[in-house]
Amino acid sequence: MKRMILIAVIAIVWQFSFAQGKTPVDTISRGNLTVILYNDKTWQYVDIQPSAVVSPKVDSSSITAQNWITNSVYAQKPDYARTKDTCIIDFGGDINNYNFPVYGKIYSRFGMRSGKMHTGVDIELSDGDTVVAAFDGVVRFAGWNNSGYGNVVVIRHYNGLETLYAHLSAVKCSVNQKIKAGECVGLGGSTGRANGTHLHFETRLKDNAFDPELVFNVQTGVLVAEKIPIYPGNFDYMKYVDNSEYHVVKSGDTLYAIARKYHVSVKQICDLNGIKETSILSVGKRLRLR
């Protein structure tokens, strides 16, 4: 049955493509996906199991109904267990409804950097340059982050994707604001743990970051395709990365002040570090928060 569906889909694509003046020359199957290769060196993904597609939704209430956390850059903590299934991010019929956040030299790509995982791409800009939303969506977080992002904006889009824009000198949007692709979200800067002025840009599914170059050609800012498959293997780095968050105790710190600062409970800090609520904190001690 699956083979018959696949043959039918390929036949339809073949007819459509022939009408467009290009001819399919080969197919490659991977799981529920088939790649159609054309004689003009272009390609197209065909999904023979539509239920696997993350479809765009126009109702903003549908994307704010689950894990809509507005006081943290994470709605859930990153978790490798949520990456088991192949997912297709569907950008809808209007493939031109997008904007690359800012155009500039790529300083650093997604991947290991100095022994640590770099979960986005760093793009050159000048202090005060306009940074725009990549796609339509709703702002989930906008403000200061203590974990290194500095001034940062997180937008959830109607297909389930989230994008993150960090190290801004100023935030120009607010939580729960509906935003359009190309609208200003902030101004370029070097806040947080930033080595020079640049934009740190991330793409995420269920709080798990994946390579933005699967979505964009970061040199040209062009969207790769209307439907983009994200495989479990795109998150394999999470097997080896410690996503815990830490705080280094400073003079005057208390467990209650630290808990309030990072929006966690005192009990959670105590459990993770094997200490009691009455424990005396030593300056320089590294406390695990999450």
Q: What is d(CA 180, CA 185) in angstroms, rounded to the nearest whole number?
A: 10
Q: How much is the pLDDT for 8?
A: 44
* CA distances to 53, 60, 97, 160 from 155, in Å: 20, 12, 16, 10
Q: What is d(CA 43, CA 77) in angstroms, rounded to the nearest whole number?
A: 35
Q: How much is the pLDDT for 115?
A: 76
Q: How much is the pLDDT for 34?
A: 60
String of DSSP letters for 201-235: EEEEETTEEE-GGGTEETTTTEES-SEEEE-GGGG
Q: How much is the pLDDT for 13?
A: 45
Q: Which residues, given as ranges, of the chain have pLDDT below 50?
A: 1-20, 48-57
Q: How much is the pLDDT for 27?
A: 53
Instruction: Return the DSSP state at 109.
Output: -
Taking the C-alpha atoms of 61, 62, 64 and 66 in order, what is their torsion angle to the nearest 10 degrees?
140
- CATH code for the part of the protein at 246-288: 3.10.350.10
- CATH code for the part of the protein at 62-239: 2.70.70.10
Task: Enumerate the domain spans of the chain.
Answer: 2-48, 62-239, 246-288
Residue 107's nearest CA partner among 98, 88, 120, 94 is 120
Q: How much is the pLDDT for 243?
A: 57
Q: Which two tokens stand for residue 68?
A: 């809509």
Task: Please state whether the predicted TM-score (pTM) of the whole model is above 0.85.
Answer: no
Q: How much is the pLDDT for 244?
A: 67
